[in-house]
Amino acid sequence: MKQIAAIVVFLLLLVAPVAADETINQLGTGTALGGSEQIPMFQGSNPAVTTTPNAIKSFVNGARPAVTSSLVDSTSRTGTTGTQSTISGILLGSAFTGRVVCVAFFLNSGSVTIEHATLGGVPATTYGQPSDAAYWACAAGTGGTSGSLVLTLSTSGSATSDGAVALTAAGQRWHA
């Protein structure tokens, strides 16, 4: 008798989730959220932890501030030749450490690779297309109004800058 009862309980446990899915699937179409409705943060036995559509919207909008960009230098400059190519006098825009400055540059030799870069004395990350020898060097926290792009190269070569852009975000400080 106990075995039969255990089998019946087991079968009921298997059928219960299906019944719940059918019940949920039979619900009618809801209405648009107005912003102040309570939404459970997790599905479970404690509905005390809730949020609202407005709270979610504030979190998402707060996580992505508006980024503005401005062209701060459009002068072409050629760097020194060697395993370290330095392009001096690049304009970086207004002195503000809460920004990212990116300089567009080209390597004047297809067989050269970039091993290290600094922009305005700050370590820079390079992005580019080696097949076209076209790159960007970006650095956060460049506080001066002008500076140098210093590239450590795998073999002797030189670089030419083609312009610089400063990126700022309202209320944000970029970190290197």
Give the separation between CA 43 and CA 138, rounded to whole angstroms.
44
Grouping H, G, I as helix, E, B as strand and the rest as coil, residue 11 is: helix
Using pLDDT thresholds of 50, 70 and 90, give the confidence band for residue 19: low
Q: pLDDT tens for residues 22-70?
A: 555 565 666 666 666 666 555 555 555 566 667 666 666 665 566 778 8
CB contact at 8 A, 95 and 144: yes
Q: pLDDT tens for residues 87-144?
A: 999 998 887 767 888 999 988 876 888 999 999 998 999 988 777 788 999 988 777 8
pLDDT at 24: 54
DSSP string over 71-120:
EEE---EEPPPEEEEEEEEEE--S--SSEEEEEEEEES-TT--EEEEEET
Domain chopping of the chain, boundaries: 67-169
pLDDT at 145: 87
CATH code for residues 67-169: 2.60.120
Q: Based on C-alpha coordinates, what's the Rg of the chain?
A: 29
